[in-house]
Amino acid sequence: MRIESFAAFEGYVEDARARFAARQSEVLVCCGTGCLANGAAAVAEAFAAALEGAPAQVKTFTKRTGCHGFCERGPLVVLRPAGVLYTKVKPRDVAEIVDKTIQGGTVIPRLLYKEPVSGQRIQHYQEVPFYKHQTRVAMRRIGLIDPTDIDDAIAHGAYRGLVKALTMTPEAVLAEVAASGLRGRGGAGFPTARKWRSCRSAKGERKFILCNGDEGDPGAFKDRSIMEGDPHSVLEGMIIGGWAVGAHEGIIYVRDEYPLAVVNLTLAIAQARDRGLLGSNILGTGFDFDIRISRGGGAFVCGESSALMRSLEGKVGEPRAKYVHATDRGLYDLPTVLNNVETWADVGAILEHGGAWFAAMGTEKSKGTKAFSLVGKVKNTGLIELPMGTTLRQIIYDIGGGVIGDRPFKAVQTGGPSGGCVPEALLDLPVDYEKLTEAGSMMGSGGMIVMDDRTCMVDVARYFLKFLTEESCGKCVPCREGLHQMLVIFDDLVAGRGKGGDIERIERLSRGMQLGSLCELGKSAPNPVLSTLRYFREEYVAHVERRECPAGICRDLTTYEIMPQTCDGCHACFKACPVAAITGKVKELHVIHQDKCISCGACYDACPTQAIRFLPKHEMAARGVA
């Protein structure tokens, strides 16, 4: 059904709201990728089947929503209107939930989230610390709506920002976005309004609005969740962008590894066209804007703007010099605005609530909220959104619940392969673009990887180098040859083949790559190296000069032994060892056989009495133990 005017849209919203308000009770089953992997689809089916035959007075609808964020505890189920959150729900729990909670009105304590410190069970999802500290803008509707139903999105506020924008002049829209202080959420933080303004003033009739959904950093999944969980927020932002800059064509570049995002976006586009919110003569205003999807072929570098545009043109996705901005000559050499998924998702909310509302959140130069994927050695893994300026400590401890096993915190890696590691001393750093850059890291894709004391920083840097070595397109010398040679040096370091002068060679090469590389992939590739060198130089020195890995991670430098006075013969190490290098009977002393041990550390992590210690291989060798 086409909506032909603003007045008709208001009527449509009322209808949709009334329809959803009539649903007295809903079961929201998280069908984000994490929960689906844990069996959420079967849970949703079980609810649908169980509720179909339920008596009319407890008419409850089952809704498959996007990612609720709390992936660690999935599959997640929220019961509305009570707001009860059940975690790790299995299909076999469904009958009990329907019986006791939906029909009986009592909660099932076993399925509630247990606060790890107090041991208290928390009933309402908004009381769970993971959710309590969040402010959601880009992710405002994710988890509340069925992403495959545009009416659900509209009932929850979708396209209100667009309606407002279309009643304003493009100049006024630009001013509103400028007032919000919104900066690019892809990581570089370029002021969005300034980008739009240059494109608007660029010469040419044909202009493009692009959405970068090629999120590829290890550990990052915020864009994925937005595209999967609320595709309309992306479409709405892009249409507003088109109105502001005078473009009529939009393309969403999505990685093909995100199949659910492709499906949900495709559906959303079809439904928006059907309602007259996309296509020609949007809402009867005479404004035309359409969006299509282009699926990426899997190259990480295609997330770089110029490579992305080449890929869209059907050429090999390799970067080119950007001395002329894409806003002047971008896709097909025509004026182009490229923004990240999260940036587009923010735009609708900014138009709806006003730039000042957005700018009231955040820090001096970084306004609004920011989505992060919180992963690694943190208790509450998941997807979060918070006001800029929230400290790393708040993120990792208040929301993340601290380090797994309450081990000592060592560092947090932000910004993916272009970012860096921030040490414990900087835990009170307010997270914004400037502060992270000053600390030698960057905002990047919003990935946050928490690391505990069982992390070797040389090994971490090597991991990112290896990733980038495989993803460098190879067009320019400093990135192609530089990354390869850097990885050669790091391979030597972790294998105990480090040489004097290695650290200096690393620094010199890093500088050459930063200055000489063609695109940001190569320019920022040394960041993980330089930030770990800056905060953990001693670990590098230990690897080079003493052939030791202080964290006991690098296998070629580390051996493990059982301390006889502490071992109580619990047999845990025996079970953990993947290569049967440990012998010993229950309640007797266990022994690690060095000839078989592969130094993986599984026994060390499994031992409940800390009876296993690691030591440098050369020390063990000096003892003459075989």
Partner 1 sequence: MNTEPVGVVTMTIDGKPVKARAGAFLLEAARAAGIHIPTLCHHEALEPYGGCRLCVVDVTEEGWDGWCKMVIACQFPVKDGLIVFTNSERVLETRRVVLDLLLARCPDTPLIQGLAARYGITETSYQRNPEPTDCILCALCTRVCDHIGVSAIATVNRGIGREVAPPFGEAPPDCIGCLACAEICPTHCIPYTTSDSSRTIWGKTFQMLRCPACGRAHITVEQARHFAGHGGVSESYFTLCDACKRTQMAATFQRLQALPTASAGGGR
Q: Which of residues 75 and 330 has its CB atom nearest to partner 1 in the complex?
A: 330
- CB 331, CB 349: distance < 8 Å: no
Q: Does 205 help bind partner 1 (rule: CB under 8 A)?
A: no
Q: Does 246 help bind partner 1 (rule: CB under 8 A)?
A: no
Sketch the per residue contact string, 551 through 590, with partner 1: x for CB under 8 A, - otherwise: ----------------------------------------
State the nearest-atom distance from the C-beta of 487 to partner 1, in Å.
Answer: 9
Side-chain half-sphere CA neighbours of 592 within 13 A: 29
562: which DSSP letter? E
Token pair 């299909």 in the structure block, residue:
91
Q: Which of residues 150 and 334 has its CB atom nearest to partner 1 in the complex?
A: 334
Q: Token pair for residue 295?
A: 């699926």
> Distances in Å between the alpha carbon of 161 and those of 176, 239, 286, 350, 353?
11, 10, 18, 7, 8
Classify 289 as helix, strand or coil. strand
- CB 133, CB 398: distance < 8 Å: yes
Q: For partner 1, which residue of 59, 292, 511, 534 counts as binding (CB under 8 A)?
A: 511
Q: Which of residues 517 and 531 has its CB atom nearest to partner 1 in the complex?
A: 517
Q: Which of residues 321 and 425 has its CB atom nearest to partner 1 in the complex?
A: 321
Q: Does 298 help bind partner 1 (rule: CB under 8 A)?
A: no
Which range in 119-127, 275-283, 453-461, 511-519 contacts partner 1 by CB under 8 A? Answer: 511-519
Q: For partner 1, which residue of 2, 132, 206, 484 counts as binding (CB under 8 A)?
A: 484
State the nearest-atom distance from the C-beta of 557 to partner 1, in Å.
Answer: 21
Q: Token pair for residue 175?
A: 């001013």
Q: Does 218 help bind partner 1 (rule: CB under 8 A)?
A: no
Q: For partner 1, which residue of 25, 285, 391, 485 counts as binding (CB under 8 A)?
A: 485
293-302 burial: b if 16+ Cβ within 10 Å, else e:
bbbbeebbbb
Within 38-93, residue ranges assigned H as helices are 40-52
Quote the CA–CA distance of 571 and 583 in Å, as a whole number. Answer: 9
Count of residues that bind partner 1 according to CB under 8 A: 38
Q: Which of residues 203 and 587 has its CB atom nearest to partner 1 in the complex?
A: 203
State the nearest-atom distance from the C-beta of 203 to partner 1, in Å.
Answer: 6
What residue type is 379 in one-letter code? Answer: K
Q: Does 256 help bind partner 1 (rule: CB under 8 A)?
A: no
Nearest CA-CA partner of 514 in 503, 530, 501:
530
Token pair 């009539």 in the structure block, residue:
22
Instruction: Tell me how crowded residue 135 is: count the other CB atoms within 10 A of its CB.
Output: 15
Q: For partner 1, which residue of 39, 191, 284, 474 counts as binding (CB under 8 A)?
A: 474
Q: For partner 1, which residue of 355, 402, 482, 498 counts as binding (CB under 8 A)?
A: 482
Quote the CA–CA distance of 296 and 227 in Å, as a whole number. Answer: 15
Q: Does 142 help bind partner 1 (rule: CB under 8 A)?
A: no
Q: Does 515 help bind partner 1 (rule: CB under 8 A)?
A: yes
Pairing of strands 582-583, 249-255: unpaired
Q: Does 476 help bind partner 1 (rule: CB under 8 A)?
A: yes
Q: Token pair for residue 577?
A: 């060892």
Q: For partner 1, which residue of 299, 392, 431, 562 counts as binding (CB under 8 A)?
A: 299
Q: Token pair for residue 456?
A: 């070797």
Q: For partner 1, which residue of 512, 568, 570, 589 counts as binding (CB under 8 A)?
A: 512
Q: Which of residues 39 and 474 has its CB atom nearest to partner 1 in the complex?
A: 474
Q: Does 537 help bind partner 1 (rule: CB under 8 A)?
A: no
State the nearest-atom distance from the C-beta of 189 to partner 1, in Å.
Answer: 18
Q: Does 516 help bind partner 1 (rule: CB under 8 A)?
A: yes
Which range in 88-96, 128-136, 477-485, 539-547 contacts partner 1 by CB under 8 A? Answer: 477-485
Q: For partner 1, which residue of 88, 475, 571, 613 counts as binding (CB under 8 A)?
A: 475
Q: Which residues contact residue 183 at a Cβ distance below 8 angstroms, ignoring those fewer than 6 apart?
A: 189, 190, 191, 192, 366, 367, 433
Q: Which of residues 16 and 199 has its CB atom nearest to partner 1 in the complex?
A: 199
Q: Does 469 help bind partner 1 (rule: CB under 8 A)?
A: yes
Which range in 127-135, 219-227, 356-364, 507-515 contacts partner 1 by CB under 8 A? Answer: 507-515
- CB 510, CB 529: distance < 8 Å: yes
Terminal Cα-to-Cα distance of the chain (whole angstroms): 78
What residue type is 624 in one-letter code? Answer: G
Q: For partner 1, which residue of 233, 517, 527, 558 counts as binding (CB under 8 A)?
A: 517
Q: Does 470 help bind partner 1 (rule: CB under 8 A)?
A: yes
Which range in 170-178, 206-214, 369-377, 513-521 contacts partner 1 by CB under 8 A? Answer: 513-521
Biggest distance spanned by C-alpha atoms of the chain = 87
Q: Does 308 help bind partner 1 (rule: CB under 8 A)?
A: no
- CB 389, CB 432: distance < 8 Å: yes
Token pair 């169980």 in the structure block, residue:
50
Which range in 19-27, 92-100, 314-322, 412-420 contacts partner 1 by CB under 8 A? Answer: 314-322
Q: Does 500 help bind partner 1 (rule: CB under 8 A)?
A: no
Token pair 């709506």 in the structure block, residue:
145
What residue type is 216 in one-letter code? Answer: G
State the nearest-atom distance from the C-beta of 380 to partner 1, in Å.
Answer: 36
Helix (H) or strand (E) holding 623: helix 617-623
Quote the CA–CA distance of 168 and 191 in Å, as a whole number. Answer: 21
- CB 499, CB 505: distance < 8 Å: no
Q: For partner 1, which residue of 57, 203, 578, 626 counts as binding (CB under 8 A)?
A: 203
> Distances in Å between the alpha carbon of 162 and those of 93, 211, 237, 353, 545?
42, 17, 8, 11, 61
Q: For partner 1, which residue of 1, 21, 56, 321 counts as binding (CB under 8 A)?
A: 321
Q: Does 216 help bind partner 1 (rule: CB under 8 A)?
A: no
Token pair 């959303």 in the structure block, residue:
268
Binding residues for partner 1 (CB under 8 A) = 203-204, 299, 301, 316, 320-321, 323-324, 329, 333, 469-478, 480-485, 488, 505, 508-509, 511-513, 515-518
